[in-house]
Amino acid sequence: MKSKKRFSLSTTHLIMLSFLGVIAVGTLLLWLPISTKSGESVAFVDALFTATTATCVTGLVTLSTHATWSVFGQIVILLLIQIGGLGLITVMGAISLLLRRKMGLGDRLLLRDAFNLNTLSGLGPFVRRVVLGTLIVEGTGALLYMLVFIPEYGLRGIWLSVFTAISAFCNAGIDLFGDVSLSAYATNPLVNAVTMTLIVTGGLGFVVWWDVLHVFSLVGKRKRPLSYLTLQSKIVLVSTAALLLAGGAAFLAFEWNNPATLGAHSVFDKLQMALFQSVTTRTAGFFTIPQEALTTPSALLALLLMFVGGSPVGTAGGIKTVTFAILIAKAASAVRGRDRVSLFGRTVKDEAIGKAVAVCMTSFSIMALATLGLALVSDASAIDILYETVSATATVGLSRALTPTLNTLGKLIIVATMYLGRVGPISLAVAFTVDTNSQNLIENPTEDISVG
């Protein structure tokens, strides 16, 4: 008698299902009449859209968060943002640690894959540091926001500060200021500085945090402490700084005389507004200048920055800075006729290069299909549609005022795109790949082909 094959889900499937579960629960809660200020249920598709954009920390909204949702609904959205930013697996792991429950092998495998790590050791302390670090950074951001929001809004400013801090750190971009996001604070240095710091901190990735802190602890104790940074941290820090500064400089040049964006402001205000635009395109979703008013070069630059996104093992989306850097380095090596890819004096493994290609191509495919689908059901301009789909794929949240005008099919397309973008292209590739280990034992004949 043949034994039945045991059905089991991989860790990748479980991670994907965990996000679906959170979205489902969030949708049902937001569909309740208690979640709205009017006391009437919103359309189911809008509840689904809002739950998805919060859980996937995207920021695209079909309904005004401030005008539509009650305090209960806003709390649900904030919880979805926090869970989505850290991941349900991380939250459950933190609860297990809090209850002093011993982590089994299955729990460790889930956490390892959720954080895209290469080791099973030290995961308990890692989760503890992630949660504690998140609370400290978000709490500090909220306190700094209160210096501005409490004098302006009274006690409501406390809730605005907490909500904005968590949303900024998780790179969600959902706010309670209406349809104008942070436009009222476009020239406020404190709000700009706090928001950008939270966005960048969340987008750097938790692994880089601990690496940087370790290097700081070596200052004065070791020579050349920066040399102790891991290759990933070096790539993340350098590529992040380069993209932010280059992006800010380009936006400043492209929008300098645009009366609808930077044209009417002082030099200092132009500088901070251009830098904010560069930072927020790294999957944050807040805006201080209307995206539909950007010049064509700025809009195209924003598409590139959104597609790249933040860094691995963080709260940001996109293909990630490390992926982008590896692809650039691989192209440069090919042009020079070199087989190996090197960054900062270290050779990049072929496996990492393969994953970078897979991530980029999968993200591009999702974006392309979503663009074609949205073009079929919408009569918006090509740049507006592309802005929407790239924003959804990279879980950014910036829109050229197209989101609120989407019909039901358009909303469902963006919902699917946000989910696929958040779960991660490499997770999708692994989840839907059939085990071919036995096939790898057979090597096919090699033949040269022409490329380019």
Question: Tens digits of per-residue pLDDT, 182-241?
Answer: 999 999 999 999 999 999 998 888 888 888 888 888 777 777 777 788 888 899 999 999
Minimal CA–CA distance to 421: which of 8, 18, 1, 19? 19
Question: Is residue 204 assigned to a domain?
Answer: yes
Minimal CA–CA distance to 19: which of 427, 429, 432, 434? 427
Joined tokens for residue 115: 């954080």
Question: Is residue 242 assigned to a domain?
Answer: yes
Burial of 97 (0-12, 13-18, 19+ CB in 10 A): middle
The runs of H, that is alpha helices, within 11-115 are: 11-31, 44-55, 65-68, 71-86, 88-98, 105-114
| Helix, strand or coil, per DSSP, at residue 107 | helix
Q: Supply the pLDDT for residue 62.
A: 94
**Chain position carrying tokens 């992006």:** 247
Burial of 327 (0-12, 13-18, 19+ CB in 10 A): middle
The span from the CA of 398 to the CA of 416, in Å, is: 17
Question: Are 96 and 107 spatial neighbours (Cβ–Cβ below 8 Å)?
Answer: yes
The span from the CA of 171 to the CA of 66, in Å, is: 18
User: How many other β-carbons are positioned within 10 Å of the β-carbon of residue 352?
Assistant: 16
Which residues form the domain of 210? 11-109+122-428
Question: Is residue 114 assigned to a domain?
Answer: no
User: How many other β-carbons are positioned within 10 Å of the β-carbon of residue 13?
Assistant: 14
Question: Is residue 436 assigned to a domain?
Answer: no
Question: Are 288 and 189 spatial neighbours (Cβ–Cβ below 8 Å)?
Answer: no
Task: Report phi then psi at 415, rounded to 5.
Answer: -60, -50
In sequence order, which residues have a C-beta less than 8 Å from that of residue 81 and are 6 or more positions away? 54, 55, 57, 166, 167, 170, 172, 174
The total of structural domains in the chain comes to 1
The span from the CA of 443 to the CA of 436, in Å, is: 13
Question: Is residue 37 assigned to a domain?
Answer: yes
Joined tokens for residue 303: 């598409």
Question: Is residue 448 assigned to a domain?
Answer: no
Cross-strand pairs, 342: 347
The span from the CA of 38 to the CA of 362, in Å, is: 41
User: How many other β-carbons are positioned within 10 Å of the β-carbon of residue 118?
Assistant: 6
Q: Supply the pLDDT for residue 95.
A: 66
Q: Provide the CB-side half-sphere exposure for 199 (13 A, CA).
A: 31
Task: Report phi then psi at 258, rounded to 5.
Answer: -80, 110
Question: Is residue 291 assigned to a domain?
Answer: yes
Q: Supply the pLDDT for residue 8.
A: 60
The 10s digit of each residue's pLDDT in 243-258 is 999 999 999 999 999 9
Amino acid letter, residue 299: A
In sequence order, which residues have a C-beta less than 8 Å from that of residue 19 and are 6 or more positions away? 55, 56, 84, 88, 419, 422, 423
Q: Supply the pLDDT for residue 349.
A: 87
List of the chain residues with pLDDT < 50:
1-7, 434-438
Question: Is residue 50 assigned to a domain?
Answer: yes
